[in-house]
């Protein structure tokens, strides 16, 4: 096993919907990361209580039970937390999440403690523009929650817009957490209105939420109107995370609005695709 791989223990689990859950694990003392980064998590089904307590079919046992399966996972929690939190989809036939969905408190997972990824605010060169826009679909919310629990993010920007798109209201996870961040960090920086949260629910009408996809909302100016601020090349950093089709289509919409990709610290747009 690689030197970087450590065993961590599941400390809590929150189920949002049959296809979405969050969990926390113990944090190894030496593990450091920057808000926005991801790690590789590993599961060996034979270490999950579910499989120890359940009679598994010969087919499952033959194919999966002895193998560690690793996948990239963004960290939800702040770099200063004692535990590490993750937010996960369940893909019914997915090699990783079809196993991970069964995890219970006390189970052990593998954590590769080498953090990866450049969807961090450190990628942007100073001087910083006024505003930060964080645009997510589904579990792509995770890195933004980590950034929003870092006081520096709040100190560095005048406005922070978080637009978060899910198919249905029940899949719009972490809304209470976002509201408490608005309140708690808003108070710390003496500006309760700094974080502008824009929920988007695309497959059912929900009062207070927008209902169109992000590129359309941007091109029509609906998102900017809802935020109450302009989105332009001089005033804005934009980060996109989640569904690769959303990332591609939104990137194109932003380019149409005059924004440019961030390279070597300069430019507006930074992205992370989840598959
Ligand atoms: C940098 C990075 C960070 C990631 N962070 C997270 C995270 O924080 N939470 C998380 O749940 N996943 C995250 N993923 C995706 C994750 O690595 C796995 O793909 C996911 O756990 C599914 O694994 P699987 O083996 O069950 O299915 P896979 O075989 O990996 O995927 C099968 C299909 O499921 C769909 N899919 C995969 N991941 C997602 C997702 N997150 N949301 C919606 N559909 C998806 C895609 O259509 C994909 O082709 C991240 C991926 C990358 C590259
Ligand atoms: N969510 C479920 O009920 C469900 C159930 C079973 C399996 N799954 C599987 O889970 C995966 C998807 O899960 P998910 O719902 O978290 O992710 P998702 O399909 O990425 O949907 C999340 C949000 O992203 C939006 N979106 C998708 N493509 C976009 C684009 N090109 N531009 C802008 N916005 C875009 C969706 O809008 P739209 O609604 O307009 O697409 C939705 O609001 C798929 O593999 C799916 O088969 C999901």
* Residue 269, strand partner residues: 238, 261
One fold for 5-116 and 121-273? no
Place of tokens 């963004």: 74
> Per-domain residue ranges for the chain?
5-116, 121-273
Provide the phi-psi class of 186: left if phi over 0, else alpha when psi is between -120 and 50, else beta.
alpha
pLDDT band at 50 (very low <50, low <70, confident <90, very high): confident
pTM of the model: 0.96
pLDDT at site 3: 76
167 lines ligand 2 (CB under 6 A): yes
Average pLDDT over all residues of the chain: 94
* Residue 191, strand partner residues: none
| pLDDT per residue as tens digits for the range 57-101 | 655 555 555 688 999 999 999 999 999 999 999 999 999 999 999
Q: In CATH, what number does 5-116 get?
A: 2.40.30.10
How far is Cα 18 from Cα 194, in angstroms, rounded to an integer?
33
Q: In this predicted model, which residue has the larger pLDDT, 2 or 253?
A: 253
39 lines ligand 2 (CB under 6 A): no
252 lines ligand 2 (CB under 6 A): no
| pLDDT per residue as tens digits for the range 164-204 | 999 999 999 999 999 999 999 999 999 989 999 999 999 99
What separation in angstroms does the CA of 21 have from each of 12, 136, 139, 208, 259?
Answer: 11, 17, 10, 24, 34
Q: How many Å lie between the centroid of ligand 1 and the Cα of residue 117?
A: 15
121-273 under CATH 1.10.150.130, yes or no:
no
**Which residues have C-beta atoms less than 6 Å from ligand 1?**
38, 71-74, 86-89, 91, 94-98, 117, 138-139, 142, 272, 274-275
- Ligand 1 atom 40 nearest Cα: 89
How far is Cα 101 from Cα 191, in angstroms, rounded to an integer?
39
């Amino acid at each position: 096993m690689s030197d970087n791989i450590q065993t961590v223990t599941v400390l809590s689990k929150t189920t949002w919907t049959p296809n979405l859950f969050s969990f926390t694990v113990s944090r190894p003392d030496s593990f450091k990361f920057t808000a926005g980064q991801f790690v590789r998590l590993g599961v060996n089904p034979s270490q999950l209580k579910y499989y120890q307590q359940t009679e598994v079919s010969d087919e499952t046992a033959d194919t999966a039970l002895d193998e560690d399966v690793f996948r990239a996972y963004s960290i939800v929690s702040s770099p200063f937390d004692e535990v590490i939190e993750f937010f996960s989809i369940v893909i019914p036939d997915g090699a990783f999440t079809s196993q991970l969905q069964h995890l219970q408190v006390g189970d052990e997972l593998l954590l590769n403690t080498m953090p990866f990824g450049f969807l961090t605010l450190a990628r942007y060169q100073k001087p910083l523009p006024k505003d930060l826009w964080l645009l997510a679909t589904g579990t792509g919310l995770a890195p933004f929650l980590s950034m929003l629990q870092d006081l520096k993010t709040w100190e560095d920007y005048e406005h922070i817009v978080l637009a978060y798109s899910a198919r249905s209201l029940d899949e719009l996870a972490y809304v209470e957490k976002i509201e408490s961040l608005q309140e708690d960090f808003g108070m710390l920086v003496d500006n309760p209105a700094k974080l502008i949260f824009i929920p988007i629910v695309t497959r059912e009408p929900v009062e207070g939420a927008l209902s169109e996809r992000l590129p359309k909302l941007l091109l029509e100016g609906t998102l900017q109107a809802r935020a109450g601020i302009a989105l332009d090349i001089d005033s804005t950093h934009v980060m996109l995370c989640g569904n690769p089709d959303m990332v591609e289509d939104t990137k194109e919409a932003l380019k149409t609005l005059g924004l440019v990709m961030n390279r070597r610290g300069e430019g507006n747009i930074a992205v992370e695709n989840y598959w």
